[in-house]
Amino acid sequence: MTSGELKTPGLKMFQPYGLVFLWGLFIISSAQAAPKGQAVLTIGPEVINKVFTQELTNHDAIQTLKDLPLHEALRKNYLSSIPLIGGLFNSVLKQITWLKVTKASIPQLAFQLSKEGRLQIKIPLDMVAGLNIIITEKLIELHMVTDVIAEVHTETDSQGHSHLVLSQCTSNPNNVGISLLQRFSFAVNKLADKVIDILMPALPILVKNEVCPVIEKAFQSMTSKIYTWSISPVPIGSNSLAFEVLSSSVVNSHFQIDLNANLRDKGGKLIKIANDSQSSLTVPKMDSLEFSFIVEQDVVGAVFGVLLPPGEMMVLLDSVLAEIAHQMKSVLNKINPKASVQLGPTQIVKILTQEPPEIILKANSARMAQLIVFEVFATNQATRPLFTLGIEASSEGQFYTEGNRLFFNLEGISSDQIHLMNSGTGLFSPELMGTVINEILLSVLLPNQNGILRNGIPLYIFKESGFDEVKVIPIQGALLFTPA
């Protein structure tokens, strides 16, 4: 497989690199927060809204609204703390035969920052209650609306790990509205208005006592689900990239989950902690993105170290790359005739990578650097190399995605520095061999590495959170993932 064959399928997927307007949204100098780990998941209000609403449904929040004990609360004088004039309460209560919520809904949630800078979630409640009274057989319908305001803040445990907590779940009496959906006779309307007068201060108390516990459970389920997304292991060959939640916080109406990353074998044993460099991950200001996952350069490098471990390749140059073999003999003849004469038709080139490659990520740019030992054996019977070169090589590359999988394609390779390590035919300067060496690396090493990388890496964090397509953008010192 040649590099050209690998590049063609990916051309369509390389389009994110051309999204200059999107990069304009990411301002590195305007950092949102300083993450404590090597990866960060950021979730915006739109996604929070979707997940929270689903968890409210899962916890039967609508049914809880329908089961609000309006009538029972009145009969048991549950609202005795409400100041009523004279015997108004008892007289109204005697007229009521049935009072129950018949319809309920929770419209779009809203997110706002309090004066103290804490995130508040506004949960609107919309209900219709049916009322039967003894002076008419007609069903009286009351339209009831109120807002629950729940505040999200960060709590820190004894180990210094912070997590998101829902607190101060309240229904403000000033945000309660109750009205008749239709008008009846004067007597009926007057009695219904008295019922409304009683319910106005009563509804916030019922909501706080009956609905807020459900909202709190839904919030806990939501954060648990988000944490589950965060720690989904990523298979890397027979190993896996594992994450653990370090802390979670609210940043500009977004949830930010800071993660530690490490590599583990198939048995779960720790292989490598990814933060060897102790570098600091900078999160750019991305309020326009509703969902993003950023992984720092060291983690990406550790993954490449697993995918492209040290190894060696050998090639019979005359048999496989005859033209390049002729070029090498011609160039070598100019710089070291003694070495050139010894090259036979069965000459062997051995390429050894002794260290994992290094990944360098910048804005819209990805480069892989690697150290290569380049050995030339005069014949296939030779036990010692004719000469050995140390090569500092680099490759520009493109990250791209297909669905929920990440791929990387190396686009060429060049020898930036060539050093003579040893020679059996006397010292010589190998710089003039640069073009030939590049051809050999391009024909032998590059297809091999691209062949390994073309398997891709699944991005389960996006699949589990409901996104079918992902795009990837290199930023300074990290990779940014966001739904396509």
- Residue 318: CATH number of its domain: 3.15.20.10
* E strands, 44-135, in order: 96-105, 110-113, 119-133
**Amino acid identity at 141:** E
Share of the chain above pLDDT 90, in %: 60
CA nearest neighbour of 50 among 216, 293, 255, 222: 222
Note the Cα 2 to chain centre separation in Å: 33
**In terms of residue numbers, what domain contains 76?**
43-227
Domain termination residue (choose one: 181, 209, 227): 227
193 and 340 share one domain: no
409 and 311 share one domain: yes
pLDDT at 15: 37
pLDDT at 34: 67
197 and 334 share one domain: no
pLDDT, averaged across the chain: 85
- pTM, two decimals, is 0.81
**Amino acid identity at 5:** E
66 and 205 share one domain: yes
Would residue 361 count as lying in a domain?
A: yes
Q: How far apart are CA 470 and CA 254, in angstroms?
A: 20
Would residue 152 count as lying in a domain?
A: yes
64 and 204 share one domain: yes
181 and 93 share one domain: yes
Q: How far apart are CA 475 and CA 26, in angstroms?
A: 9
The DSSP symbol for 84 reads: -
- 334-345: pLDDT as tens digits: 999 999 999 999
pLDDT at 92: 76
339 and 433 share one domain: yes
Tell me how many domains the chain contains.
Answer: 2
Domain termination residue (choose one: 208, 227, 246): 227
Q: Is residue 317 within 8 Å of 324, Cβ to Cβ?
A: yes
Q: Sort residue 403 into left (φ over 0), alpha (ψ -120 to 50) or beta.
A: left
Would residue 186 count as lying in a domain?
A: yes
Would residue 110 count as lying in a domain?
A: yes
Domain termination residue (choose one: 209, 227, 245): 227
Would residue 479 count as lying in a domain?
A: no
Would residue 28 count as lying in a domain?
A: no
Confidence band of 24 (pLDDT split at 50, 70, 90): very low
> Has residue 374 got a pLDDT over 60?
yes
Confidence band of 279 (pLDDT split at 50, 70, 90): low
Would residue 11 count as lying in a domain?
A: no
pLDDT at 119: 87
pLDDT at 287: 61
178 and 318 share one domain: no
User: What's the alpha-carbon Rg for the chain, to the nearest Å?
Assistant: 34
Confidence band of 370 (pLDDT split at 50, 70, 90): very high
Check which CATH number belongs to the domain holding 61 and give it.
Answer: 3.15.10.10
> Has residue 16 got a pLDDT over 80?
no
Confidence band of 273 (pLDDT split at 50, 70, 90): low
User: What three-state secondary structure class fits 280?
Assistant: coil
Q: Is residue 39 within 8 Å of 261, Cβ to Cβ?
A: yes
- 214-246: pLDDT as tens digits: 999 999 999 999 999 998 889 998 899 989 888
Would residue 238 count as lying in a domain?
A: no
